[in-house]
Amino acid sequence: MPVVDYDALTEVIDIPTPARELLSRPEKQISFALSLPLGDEFFCADAHVVYHNTARGVAKGGIRFDASVTLEETQDLAELMALKTALTQIPFGGGKSGIKADPYELAPLEKDSLIKEFVHMIRKEFVYPLDYVPAPDMGTNPRDMAIIYGETHIPESVTGKPPRNGGLPGRREATGRGVAAVAALAWERASGESLEGATCAVQGFGNVGSWTCQFLADMGVRIVGVSDIHGGIYDEKGLDIGGLTEHVNAGQPLVDFGPAGVSNAELLALPVAFLIPAACGEVLTEENAESVQAKLIIEAANHPTTSEADAILVENGVTIVPDILANSGGVVASYLEWRLGKSGTMTNQQETYEVIDETMADTAARVWDFADDRMSIRTSAWALAVDELVKAMADRGWF
């Protein structure tokens, strides 16, 4: 089932019937068995690659390596990527891939072998024609992208590589940078005040959540709650984000950092100015939406709010900045890396940050202006993204 209700969206924008048909299902998908002998063991896992829409460019989307991966989830994430690139007006399409296995059960060299085999399985149909450009996602990292680059020998075939291997300075922080930038813009629009002293809780302290916290702390935000899969910590005076980052990077459990413990469910209900779900999908549901006290939610994770929860939160006066806007800093940086890989030019971290900040500000302004108190921010973002896709498909004669 599509993430977006395209029939309902026709009340806001014109979506011809053929366009609705094209957008309501993946353009292309492949599923295969990823199999490889690893020492005395034999590894076998389901793998999927999905293109949702390539009217605006090659399919762009990360490789998710997790035991929860399904074809349906991969389809949804590819659709979100198509919407995200269209909304930010980056010349990419939307894609995604997934490997159904726990990467943390593999030794580094075993994982390297699996990534190489993944490339070999799709190289003729996907990687070498550059119809699909992967990047890191849950369970994958810059090293994995460097392994892919080593197999293709094409700099622009993959993004999210380490800077020493043709990657972009600032790429690892990019999604968190974008989330923080949008949070500041949304808070100022909602309250008319600066972020200085505003309270925030962040669910998830992986790459996106940790960098979001660091950038927000630098802006003067008082981050009072943070959690990961094992639980969370809370301090109403504000957490020492620098110290917490050092603690976690040293391999220590987040929950052992020191302040009072909270569960993930309790963190979502903390009395904060704004809440940032930055972990997995569908954490805000019909069952817990009423307990949310924040009046602003920034969706750093993909699809963290179910449609039922969204309706409850909007009814309760909560402003939700949707994922296709909030977490698009990563794909902005991916485009920069892809473009630099094709041209051979160089950039630096500050330039990466500036492009992300400018793109997020321009995109957010268009979303808020189009909403204009007539619709939710989510509906506005979806409408602008879909309208861009519809026009791109029409320009290419797809209908």
Q: Per the domain annotation, does 137 fall within a domain?
A: yes
For residue 21, being part of any structural domain is answered with no
Query: Could you tell me if residue 336 is inside a domain?
Result: yes
Euclidean distance between CA atoms 79 and 25, whole angstroms: 9
What local confidence, expressed as pLDDT, does residue 2 receive? 85
Query: What CATH number is attached to the domain comprising 51?
Result: 3.40.50.10860
Q: What are phi and psi of 319, to 5 degrees?
A: -90, 125
CA–CA dist 215, 111 (Å, integer): 31
Which of residues 119, 138, 165 is at a domain's end?
165
Q: What is the pLDDT of residue 345?
A: 87
What pLDDT was estimated at residue 191? 87
Do 152 and 54 share a structural domain?
Answer: yes
Does 209 share its domain with 62? no
Which range marks the domain in which residue 222 is found? 170-399
Q: Is 96 among the residues known to form the active site?
A: yes
Can you give the C-alpha Rg of the chain in angstroms? 20
**Residue 146 and residue 175 in one domain:** no
User: How many beta carbons lie within 10 A of that of residue 47, not counting itself?
Assistant: 25
Final residue in a domain of this structure, among 114, 131, 165? 165
Ramachandran sector of residue 26 (left: φ over 0; alpha: ψ -120 to 50; beta: rest): beta
The one-character DSSP state at 284 is: B
Residues 60 and 98 in one domain: yes
- Distances in whole angstroms, Cα of residue 338 to Cα of each of 32, 79, 119, 322, 341: 27, 21, 18, 25, 5
Strand partners, 37: 42
Asked if 284 and 303 count as a contact pair (C-beta separation under 8 A), the reply is no
Is the same domain home to 245 and 392?
yes
185 belongs to a structural domain: yes
Contact by Cβ (8 Å): 257, 251: no
How far from 142 is each of 97, 171, 261, CA to CA, in Å? 16, 10, 32
Of the candidates 366, 350, 388, the one whose C-alpha atom is nearest the C-alpha of residue 168 is 350
pLDDT of residue 174: 97
Distances (CA, A) of 42 to 31, 51, 118, 361, 391: 19, 29, 15, 49, 48
Is 211 within the bounds of a domain?
yes
- pLDDT tens by residue, the chain, 399 residues: 789 999 999 999 999 999 999 999 999 999 999 999 988 889 999 999 999 999 999 999 999 999 999 999 999 999 999 999 999 999 999 999 999 999 999 999 999 999 999 999 998 877 778 899 999 999 999 999 999 999 999 999 999 999 999 999 999 999 999 999 999 999 999 888 888 999 999 999 999 999 999 999 999 999 999 999 999 999 999 999 999 999 999 999 999 997 889 999 999 999 999 999 999 889 999 999 999 999 999 999 999 999 999 999 999 999 999 999 999 999 999 999 999 999 988 899 999 999 999 999 999 999 999 999 899 999 999 999 999 999 999 999 999
Does 13 map to a domain?
Answer: no
Per-residue pLDDT, 280: 87
Q: Does 107 share its domain with 234? A: no
* Residue 365 to residue 373: CA distance in whole angstroms: 13
In a domain? residue 16: no
- Number of structural domains (the chain) is 2
Residues 192 and 144 in one domain: no
The pair of structure tokens assigned to 57 is 């460019």
| Tokens standing for residue 175 | 């999604």
Looking at the structure, tell me whether residues 212 and 354 fall in a common domain: yes
Last residue of a domain, one of 131, 165, 199: 165
Q: Supply the CATH number for residue 284's domain.
A: 3.40.50.720
Same domain, 159 and 181: no
Same domain (yes/no): 111, 174: no
Choose, from 60, 96, 100, 111, the residue flagged as catalytic: 96
Token pair 């940790």 is at which residue? 210
Task: Give the residue among 351, 321, 322 at the shortest CA–CA distance from 336.
Answer: 351
With respect to residue 9, please indicate whether it lies within any of the assigned structural domains.
Answer: no
Same domain for 132 and 274, yes or no, is no
Judge contact between 393 and 55, C-beta under 8 A.
yes
Do 196 and 334 sit in the same domain of this protein?
yes
Confidence (pLDDT) at 173: 97
